[in-house]
Amino acid sequence: MITVQKPGFIARILITLTTVTLVILGFFFLTVALAVGAVVALVIGVRFWWTLRKLKRMQGDVQHTPRTSDTVVNGEYRVIEGESRVTRLPQNRDSASPPDAKNTPPAP
């Protein structure tokens, strides 16, 4: 039968020191990896922000101008039960002619 001797006092101290050293080195490598990851994420975020900023500038100041009544589209509609088509009415009914026969839904 083979007997295994327990490690001596010096061997236990060396194993403990090696384990502690490896844990500390692992902690430092993890810290460096997280710092590098944070820097990469920051660079990607700044690049994304810069590209969006550039695209918004290329569009002009359209978003910063107040909306006027010229940009609003007004219209009327009426819903006819049983029909899926919508008939558009002219904006000014007094001066406009009635809708043409093509847009008028058939009589029930």
Mean pLDDT (whole number) for 6-29: 95
The predicted structure's pLDDT at residue 50: 94
Contact in structure between 77 and 90 (CB atoms under 8 Å): no
- At residue 1, does pLDDT exceed 80? no
Q: What is residue 5's predicted lDDT score, i.e. its pLDDT?
A: 83
Q: Is the pLDDT at 97 greater than 60, yes or no?
A: no
Angstrom distances, CA of residue 17 to CA of 10, 33, 35, 53, 108 = 11, 24, 27, 54, 95
Coil vs helix vs strand at 69: helix
Report the mean per-residue pLDDT for the chain. Answer: 79
The span from the first CA to the last CA of the chain, in angstroms, equals: 105
Predicted confidence at residue 14, as pLDDT, reads 96
Q: Give the position of tokens 């009415």.
A: 89
**Does position 94 have pLDDT exceeding 70, yes or no?**
no
Residue 46 DSSP symbol: H
